[in-house]
Amino acid sequence: MTDVKQIRIEAIHLDQDDPKKCTARKLERRGLIRCKTRISSAAKKGILLDPLSKTILSPLDVDLIKDGSLVALDCSWKKIQESIRIISRTTRLESRILPILLAGNPVSWGKRGRMSTAEALSASLYIMGRKDQAISLLKPFKFGDAFLDLNGELLEAYSSCNSQAEVEEMQWEFFNRPSSDI
């Protein structure tokens, strides 16, 4: 199935990481996303990919971005809590966390949830049924195929779920559930 309409994608870019490794800027140079350096200029409607959120992304969330944007926060993992706190106070974007996925980028390869901005955006699109757009976001990166190879089965499984609860449970079919969740 070919995507009918491309989803608008943005990154709130806070210039906290090595510019040579910044996947958001590379996507912007390729015309695939827009980077915003001020939180106030970010999309007003849509989804914010938030690794601290309690609400997991599901295929049903595609409705939130049909007339809005998919927004990633491009910042240092060391400053994530402070950055998320500021954004959540100044936008009305719906925060979502991705289900467990493995990073394919060379900096965090194989680590759970330590994805680059490009990987997180691509995974989100894939889960919400926008597979063509998801794959095209990874084309500029040497690690794009590695990310898809590591997570292909996971992404297919997550994208087939019918609710957030199903996605939540599905991840435990692939990974060990933390002992605090039992």
Residue 3 placed within a domain = no
pLDDT of residue 2: 43
Residue 53 placed within a domain = yes
Domain that holds residue 18: 8-175
Q: How far, in Å, are 5, 6, 50, 82 from residue 67 at the CA level?
A: 11, 11, 20, 28
* Mean pLDDT of all residues in 12-39: 84
Residue 108 placed within a domain = yes
Residue 156 placed within a domain = yes
The whole-angstrom separation of Cα 49 and Cα 58 is 12
Please, what sign has the CA dihedral across residues 99, 105, 108, 109?
positive
Average pLDDT value over all residues in the chain: 88
Q: What crossing angle do the helices spanning 164-174 and 144-159 adopt, rounded to 10°?
A: 120
Count: domains in the chain: 1
pTM recorded for the entire structure: 0.89
pLDDT of residue 3: 45
pLDDT of 17 higher than 70: no
* Residue range 46-102, pLDDT digits in tens: 999 988 899 999 999 999 988 889 999 887 667 777 777 777 777 778 999 999 999
Residue 37 placed within a domain = yes
Residue 1 placed within a domain = no
Residue 162 placed within a domain = yes
